[in-house]
Amino acid sequence: MSTAIEYFQFVLAPQMLIGLVLGVAVILVALGLTIIFGLLDVINMSHGEFYALGAFIALALGSIGLPFWLLLILVPLVMLPVGYIVERGLIQRVFHSGERHVTTLLLTFGLGLVMEDAFRLVFGPNPHKPETPIVGAIDVFGVFLPLYRLFLIVGGAVVVALVALVVYRTRLGAMVRAAAFDRHMAASLGVPVQHVYAGAFAFGVALAGLAGVLLAPVYSAFPTMGRDFILMAFTVVIVGGMGSIAGVVVAGLLLTQVQAISSLYISPVWSDPIVFGIMVIMLMVRPQGLFGRLGHG
Amino acid sequence: MTTPVLEVRGLSVNFGGLRAVDNVSFAVARNRVTTVIGPNGAGKSTLFNLISGAVRAAAGHVLIDGTDCTGQTPNRLQAAGLARSFQITNLFFELSVAENLRLAAQILEPVRMALRPVASSRTTQARVDELLERFDLAGKRAMPVAKLSHGEQRRLEVAVALAGKPKILLLDEPTQGMSHGDTADTAHLIKSLASDVTVLLIEHDIGLVMSLSDTVIVMHQGQKLAEGTPEAVRGNPDVQSAYFGHA
Amino acid sequence: MADALTRSMRASHVLVAILVVASLIFAAIGVVNGDTFYLRLGTEALIFAGLALSVDVLLGYTGLLSLGQALYFGLGAYISALVLMVTPSFWAAMGATFVATIAIGAIGGFIANRVRGVYFALITFGMAQVAAKVVYNARTLGASDGLIGVPIIKVDFGFAAISTASPAGFFLFTLAFIVILYALAAYLLDTPFGRLLIALKANERRVPFLGYDTVTPRLLAYVIAAVIAALSGALYPMLRGFVSPELLFFSTSGNAVITVVTGGVGTLVGALYGGILLTLMKSVIGSYTEHHLIVIGLLFMGAVIFLPRGLMGIVRPAIARILERRTKS
């Protein structure tokens, strides 16, 4: 019995905590992705680069002395107009073509390439690690946990709750959901669909930026940081159900736990194929994902 | 008594609690025009979707030449001799008129021809030319479907359905949105088809239905209300209150 | 009488003929100057054009966007390298690649074709990512270093043999190889089977009502594209003498998509011109800055917005019109 407890305390629990931190990180990135897909039907291939952009903006502003806590608010605010302009200036240009899915995917893919190379040009290829805003660690039931990671878990939960609150409980959110369900109906009811679309894209991008600020102290900021995250984020969005916020949370926590725990028993090399295998099986048996789409019940 | 070419037995389907098609049965005589009429929402198009395999029936059977074809996929039903057109034009819009017909006609070729250049198949080419003539589309053969007028698209919709030489042709409002003159032309065309094809038609133009049909089936709220010759149906008091009363 | 689709395919043939002539001139100049670098670069451009060709068979004709075609390109490259390290036979390498790709392509196609549209794009993306990770970590495949020391071989035709070490010889051989792949794809797309694929792209939902099964043709298209990608990839270790996991990375798949989109989706020849254009741009821009991706990415975005039919989307109809005038007069 005591060995089981020790096994939990020293082997399983730390691993699950690492998985939890990663889970929160993935959820933060995937949240914007799923909102953009749910509303605009756009696969934002540059989402990972917007996540990196948030981290780099924080890095630049931090280097001129702005405190981390201010950046948490400032960076998403800076990202909002960026996202708005990208939607109106780029995505709307191909949004009405017959093969919208493909063209918007290609366009954002190109944008991601440009952004990634631009980061390399400005910041160089090597990782930058911002100072950890909260130093120290605590003991959670005998498990060592850095305070900043604890903050990340709590902060992540708060962000998810706020986003859900905005989408499901405010007038703004109601407009967004109406536009997602039927844009023509929404437009005839006086919803400014064009602005809702651009606004939702900006919101998704700002969320990615916020994730960048929050995660850079843990995972560092480097040009390809978005790429490493994006497959996992896509997987989470698909398994959770494209456009579903609850789906992202459940799938994000579930898949990162599968990854964390499985890597205890088999080579970590196989954790990606396992997670991806879950996605494939999901697509084959339940293509709509665990939860339905935004605005669709 | 001969086996009917198409027979429907107790066909039913529900959409979200609503009985869209409710226990509908009828038989269609060979090389005749049978028309399904009824107010909007009576279940006519859904009935076609059930017969053609686009939607799976909750209950009932579809028999072609006495063979049970219930639940088969559209491509299997086509092989059994059943083809259909659509109420909302459903063609290959970016391809030419001739290519739309060629695609529909190439099903008649043996599989071994699948890897021979398309230009080498004279029988398919001849079939395409024949259809272009018959449907008065020869002048537009190279034009993309998207650039045709509405009336021409509706005609091509019927021609494409006919190209694979079906025994039974389901035509879902072929004259939908057509001008008066075009409607009359199409009526002639459909009448001429019935010499070698069995036609099951959905139509709203009552004048056309009366002049064209050998048998009329009236649907109302998912159920078959009446069936008979145009005259008999016209005189049926139930039909008058349910259908003509609304008109 | 040839219809519009056959005529535009003929226009593609003319453009390929022009490309072949230009390549022969390029090779002659290379031989005269005793060049190695540019001939090798040209060979590599053609090999990646083969990968782009496979993307176009799926995207331009069947309407399926694959973001993971590098999976089969890399598969071909690794199998070819492994075979050549055991037995230095071109035909053995190609045969093994062909057989293995049909088997693996059928499995991949079965999985990917369960879904449509963006889901297809994401699932192909994911499959390639997983394969890349596995190869990257597999010690028997040299892990992140890849396989080095693939021997120089002679491609033996019985009556003649070409050494992979000869820059001009292997360039011309690769040119012939890729043109044959193009010709096979072009032939296939002008048959009832190919036209069915075009119909699937144009309006998938109507196809079953014409009497066709849609699952098998789509799977076959997927396998054919996989084979084209793998056979092109199999040439890679013959050219460079090594293979590395980068060949399976998303950047490889992504480059192929960029190539096809800028070259012209649904033209086949666009893949070849696009492949050469991209290689050219990389080496020209690369001589000024290492950040060529910014330029290429911006050009690609410009093509998606302003030139949705790509370069050949403009050139090919012009050629088709000239051909038409000549047949009429």
Closest Cα in chain A to C59: A102
pLDDT of residue C72: 96
Tokens standing for C14?
């003319």
Q: Has residue A150 been placed in a domain?
A: yes
User: Tokens representing B72?
Assistant: 């088969």
What pLDDT sits at residue C186? Answer: 92
pLDDT band of residue C221 (cuts 50, 70, 90) is very high
Q: CA-nearest residue of chain C to B119?
A: C2
How confident is the model at residue A293, as a pLDDT? 57
Instruction: Classify C242 as helix, strand or coil.
Output: strand
DSSP C101-170: HHHHHHHHHHHHTTS-HHHHHHHHHHHHHHHHHHHHH-GGGTGGG-EE-PPP-EEE-SS-EEETT-HHHH
Task: Give the neighbor-by-neighbor strand order of the sheet with B198-202.
Answer: B82-84, B168-172, B198-202, B33-37, B215-220, B223-228
Residue C1 has pLDDT above 70, yes or no: no
Cβ contact, residue pair C111, A280, below 8 Å: yes
- Which residues of C have a CB under 8 Å from any CB of A? 59, 65, 111, 114-115, 117-119, 121-123, 125-127, 129-130, 133-134, 137, 250, 254, 257-258, 261, 291-294, 296-298, 300-301, 304-305, 308
**What integer is the mean pLDDT of A15-24?**
85
A279 inside domain: no
- Chain A interface disruption, residue of C59, C120, C293, C298, most A CBs within 10 A: C293
> pLDDT at residue B6 above 80?
yes
Inter-chain touch B115–C4, beta carbons under 8 Å: no
Residue B247 predicted with pLDDT over 50? no
**Three-state SS string across chain A, please?**
CHHHHHHHHHHHHHHHHHHHHHHHHHHHHHHHHHHHHHHHCCCCCCHHHHHHHHHHHHHHHHHCCCCHHHHHHHHHHHHHHHHHHHHHHHHHHHHCCCCHHHHHHHHHHHHHHHHHHHHHHHHCCCCECCCCCCCCEEEECCEEEEHHHHHHHHHHHHHHHHHHHHHHHCHHHHHHHHHHHCHHHHHHCCCCHHHHHHHHHHHHHHHHHHHHHHHHHHHCECCCHHHHHHHHHHHHHHHHCCCCHHHHHHHHHHHHHHHHHHHHHCCHHHHHHHHHHHHHHHHHHCCCCCCCCCCCC
Eight-class DSSP state of C9: H
Nearest CA in chain C to B54: C209
- pLDDT band at residue A131, thresholds of 50, 70 and 90? confident
Indicate yes or no: CB of B119 within 8 angstroms of CB of C3.
yes
pLDDT of residue C33: 87
Please list every residue in chain B whose beta carbon sits closer than 8 Å to the beta carbon of residue C188. Answer: 115
| Residues of the domain holding A25 | 17-223
DSSP-derived secondary structure letter, C58 = I
Q: Over 70: is that where the pLDDT of B245 sits?
A: no
pLDDT of residue C308: 83
Q: Provide the sign of the torsion angle of the four alpha carbons C274, C276, C279, C283, taken in this order.
A: negative
- Provide mean pLDDT across the span A127-154: 81
Report how far Cα C41 is from the mean position of its chain's Cα atoms.
Answer: 16
Going by CATH, does the domain composed of B1-81+167-247 fall within 3.40.50.300?
Answer: yes
Amino acid at A12: L
Task: Give the model's pLDDT for residue C272.
Answer: 93
C218 pLDDT band, cuts 50/70/90, is: very high
SS3 C267: coil
pLDDT in tens, C40-62: 999 999 999 999 999 999 998 98
Which residues in chain C touch residue B99, judged by CB atoms under 8 angstroms apart? 3-5, 195
Q: Do A121 and C65 touch (CB under 8 A)?
A: no
pLDDT of residue C11: 87
Tens-place pLDDT, residues C6-19: 888 888 888 989 99
pLDDT of B2: 74
Nearest to A231 among C126, C134, C301 (CB): C126
pLDDT tens for each residue of B51-106: 988 888 888 888 888 888 888 899 998 888 899 999 888 889 889 999 999 999 99
* C-beta of residue C43 within 8 angstroms of C-beta of residue C35: no
Residue A7 located in a structural domain: no
* B99–C3 CB contact, under 8 Å: yes
Any idea which of A236-240, B52-56, C156-160, C306-310 has the lowest mean pLDDT? C156-160
Three-state secondary structure readout of chain B: CCCCCEEEEEEEEEECCEEEEEEEEEEECCCCEEEEECCCCCCHHHHHHHHCCCCCCCEEEEEECCEECCCCCHHHHHHCCEEECCCCCCCCCCCEHHHHHHHHHHHHCCHHHHHCCHHHCHHHHHHHHHHHHHCCCHHHCCCEHHHCCHHHHHHHHHHHHHHCCCCEEEEECCCCCCCHHHHHHHHHHHHHHCCCCEEEEECCCHHHHHHHCCEEEEEECCEEEEEECHHHHHHCHHHHHHHHCCC
Number of domains in chain A: 1
* A68-120 per-position pLDDT tens digit: 888 889 999 999 999 999 999 888 888 877 678 888 989 999 999 999 999 99
- The answer to whether residue A67 sits within a structural domain is yes
More confident residue, A172 or A119: A119
- Counting one residue from chain B and one from chain C, the pairs whose CB atoms sit within 8 A come to 95
pLDDT per residue as tens digits for the range B137-194: 888 888 888 888 888 888 899 999 999 889 999 999 888 888 888 888 888 888 888 8
Tens digit of pLDDT for each residue in A205-224? 999 999 999 988 888 889 98
User: Region A12-30: what's the mean pLDDT?
Assistant: 85
Q: What is the ipTM of this complex?
A: 0.90
What is the rounded distance in angstroms from the CA atom of residue A253 to the CA atom of residue C267? Answer: 45
Among A45, A101, A106, which would you mutate to test the C interface (most chain C Cβ atoms within 10 Å of its Cβ)?
A106
Q: Is the pLDDT of residue C242 over 80?
A: yes
Write down the domain spans for chain B.
1-81+167-247, 91-165
pLDDT band at A292; cut points 50, 70, 90: low
Beta bridge partners of B21: B13
The whole-angstrom separation of Cα B160 and Cα B174 is: 12
The model's confidence at residue A242, banded by pLDDT at 50, 70 and 90, is: confident
- Say which CATH class C4-328 falls into: mainly alpha
pLDDT given for residue A297 in this prediction: 38
Kindly state whether residue A236 falls inside one of the protein's structural domains. Answer: no
* Probe site for chain A from C58, C59, C114, C129 (most A CB atoms < 10 A): C129
Cβ contact (<8 Å) for C192 and B114?
yes
